[in-house]
Structure 1
């Protein structure tokens, strides 16, 4: 049996992205019901091997606004986001989720774009891991090679979009959780600026809001279309208006090339080669490329680990307040308990690490006095095989592996700035390799324009080819 799995076939979905499907829907070449039937058939064909779905609701969708720009296009929502009448399980076995009473604000934005919600996708427990793996359940597998991780925390979303089940899927990002699975699965994954979309309820509860919602998609124009629709549905006057970005710009940009990770982890050869090749491409397009540093050091890594532990500690100690009497902390994964224990040891440092993390935004902004965009790897190495980041690994070993792997993404979460992962390369074995573009607060437009330019000159590989 081939380790590569995809669902692309000659059905109503075809090879189209979301924008292409919306155009066909408007021309009445296909109906929303036909698209939903195709999603159901594709999910049945591949999800038994990928394990990306929590639930499939193609027979009872939550339908979007009929006049939205993506009206009738099917999508999936991550399992930590409330859809009225559906349970959100947060990737854990520690409680029994009840049907949500109301839509999350980001769900309202997706519906305003016209998207039809036809199911939910798997994630690791509370999004704390960078691989969608579990202590006592099947992992979500990478469709490019099912021996490998699909990334996390939006791993189910990325696996199913890459495999062709839906053209795009909702995702969110608190330390790389859009960009990591996008890089692992060969997708476009943009983490918007803090405040570009509606505030995420999970992130808003915490001392520093790291979490931003978005999508993973197979094309730059799909991501641009969703962001434009969300921005129209809920304008944040504190950020520059975005509008619909439809292609590259002619501007010459100052691009800082970052190849050394804040953690000190070595960047592997495939990743370094892909990022360097994109830098050379951008130089040929007329942009100015210069070396840059990450702008933070190992103290940031230590502070982020302490804050990561605080998030897990809040789950362990406050889970019953969030989820009710069915919550049982004894059923949480070892990683969650390990992070909570780490925070117990670090608790006295809380005021200090929070103060330093809050100062990161200013330090990161200083980078953009010299550069318009920072180009780096998404991850220090390509996605690992299933098991390498399993939550059952010894805690110290697992956290060391995670910090080495997730070396570049958390900075944008703490700073609140936009960043996008692009599927610009691959290993000799065909595993996707992503590159990372980071921008200044509110400047998703520049990132999208540059992404269009890279996509045009270095088209993304297609799993069906």
Structure 2
């Protein structure tokens, strides 16, 4: 009766539990069986803690909206007392935390049955998930020659493979939206500071990083965002308050919107024709729904912002690695090549560069805000683009073996060329989403990207739900998922 977990979203599974048609233990059995059957081909689920999950069920799960639904944490952040973490790195392998992070406490209160973690690249700085600590790359369930994305690549692969119906992720430069695009899922990055970072961190990458979720349905993301939204005590800043909540917002469509269409990169370069076609088809769909769609490009300094992003992340990477080394040598058996390169790059920066780079991304956020402001700019409600400039890359293209960190990020074949859209909205702090609306000739998913003004999460997720109703994607399943 349970069938394949991936054929149902988390809301439907929670309904089965609430009606007594299936038990949390039976759902966990199904998830663990899927791990055994499918995980060897994709290498997505790690650090399984079945005993912890069984004890949580036995003790009585909270009566939340996802009571009894199997769940996985990204193996980066989401600190949890009962779930040790490698954080994607041999240097941090088997880290144990003295208590739960605010985000995990809120996720746990929804009633989910957390039973393990999902793979992540070292430091979260990759668009592919191929960390050495897991013994091999994480692969795309649609075609295992291709990457599932990063840095939440394990989460995307686990959901697309039908191991779980949804999973935790995080996004500092597209790390939820890139796997969503690569794996045929929905991924939503909230407005900066919408979700808590504490108590183990004050902010991530100067406020550019935030938690999120990989889901098959918009409603699962909406309900989980509502459960987790709000600053934790002592947070350095807050997001604008929600008017009604994400779940209420998706119950009705938004007003008719002014949509800016970008079928190139934000600096005008061509993208893969198959990806461009998916963007243009989405524009037609939005027009058919009554929205006004106009070709437009935001006038912003994207290259300057990307250089600032690269420097901020290098400094953050160096800080974490130096602290964990605690005086030990930075050897290649502990730290991967691109991370060593990030540390080396950080050492070349002037001591004032970090604050200069933070100032640059703040200035960029104001540039982008004008594009959405009817008083100082054209006043668009939504910016439509691709999520990635091409279909999912082959495994190995973004290997962490290189020590040329700057080229890895900003070179002509680097991550920003592959993913020129996502990090823009980490820098500006705006809400943005990837929707699985296209498919390559080879059967790989293609994500289409929507972004909205700062604080307009409810409007954006309402639009996503309207698109989901008009062009449903849930029936499409990766071959490995059956």
1:398 to 404, 408, 416: 408
Aligned to 1:93: 90
1:327-338 pair list within 5 angstroms: 330=332, 331-338=334-341
For residue 50 of structure 1, report the CA deviation from its aligned partner: 0.5
Distance 1:182 1:372, change over 3 A: same
For residue 352 of structure 1, report the CA deviation from its aligned partner: 2.6
- Aligned-partner Cα distance in 2 for 1:44–1:135: 21
Distance 1:372 1:119, change over 3 A: same
Aligned to 2:425: 412
1:5-404 pair list within 5 angstroms: 11=3, 13=5, 15-61=7-53, 62=56, 65-80=61-76, 81-135=78-132, 137-199=135-197, 204=202, 208-231=206-229, 238-243=240-245, 244=247, 245-262=249-266, 265-297=269-301, 298-320=303-325, 330=332, 331-347=334-350, 349-369=353-373, 370-393=379-402, 395=404, 397-399=407-409, 400=411, 401-404=414-417
Distance 1:329 1:38, change over 3 A: same
Distance 1:405 1:253, change over 3 A: same
Please give the per-residue CA displacement for 1:24-60, whole angstroms capped at 9, x wherever unaligned: 1111000000000000000000101100012222342
CA RMSD of aligned residues (A): 2.4
- Aligned-partner Cα distance in 2 for 1:332–1:284: 51
For residue 327 of structure 1, report the CA deviation from its aligned partner: 9.0
For residue 232 of structure 1, report the CA deviation from its aligned partner: 8.0
TM-score scaled by structure 1? 0.91
TM-score scaled by structure 2? 0.88
- Aligned-partner Cα distance in 1 for 2:428–2:141: 32
For residue 326 of structure 1, report the CA deviation from its aligned partner: 8.3
- Aligned-partner Cα distance in 2 for 1:232–1:397: 37
Greater shift in the superposed pair: 299-308 or 121-130: 299-308
Counterpart of 1:47 in 2: which secondary structure?
A: helix
- Aligned-partner Cα distance in 2 for 1:22–1:343: 46
Instruction: Tell me, yes or no, if the aligned pair for 2:172 and 2:205 is still in contact at 8 Å.
Output: no
Distance 1:264 1:226, change over 3 A: same
For residue 86 of structure 1, report the CA deviation from its aligned partner: 2.2
Stretches of structure 1 that go unaligned for 5 or more consecutive residues are: 1-8
Instruction: Tell me, yes or no, if the aligned pair for 2:6 and 2:164 is still in contact at 8 Å.
Output: no
2:463 pairs with 1:450: yes
Instruction: Tell me, yes or no, if the aligned pair for 1:51 and 1:156 is still in contact at 8 Å.
Output: yes
Distance 1:332 1:303, change over 3 A: same
Instruction: Tell me, yes or no, if the aligned pair for 1:203 and 1:210 is still in contact at 8 Å.
Output: no
> How many pairs are equivalent?
454
- Aligned-partner Cα distance in 2 for 1:206–1:46: 33
Please give the per-residue CA displacement for 1:325-357, whole angstroms capped at 9, x wherever unaligned: 889554211111112222322335334322211
